[in-house]
Amino acid sequence: MFAQNEVVASRVFDAADIAADPVYEEREDIVTVEDPDLGPVRMQAVIPHFRQNPGQVWRTGPELGQDNRLVYHHWLGVADEKLAELEQQGVV
């Protein structure tokens, strides 16, 4: 009925369907990233793909607190002494 009425349609894919689909594989929409605790993890790549700025999945996610210094010191301008104080107080 869809084809007769020129309706573009497809079944809905779940995560398992996507991970097993050869089209997603060929388009490199699923990548394997090494996780320090879990080992290799297959996950979604950066979509859409741009030629001049393709993007990259480089980790599964940070460890708890791994990026604190970057966020508090570099991005928010919190002084090292103040950050150390917050860490000692258990705030961070």
Could you read off the pLDDT of 13-23 as tens digits, one per residue? 999 999 899 99
Q: What is the pTM of this model?
A: 0.61
pLDDT tens readout for residues 56-82 = 998 999 988 999 999 999 999 999 999
Confidence of residue 36 (pLDDT cuts 50, 70, 90): very high
User: What region does 39 belong to: left with phi over 0, alpha with psi -120 to 50, or beta?
Assistant: left
Cβ atoms of 33 and 57 within 8 Å: the answer is yes
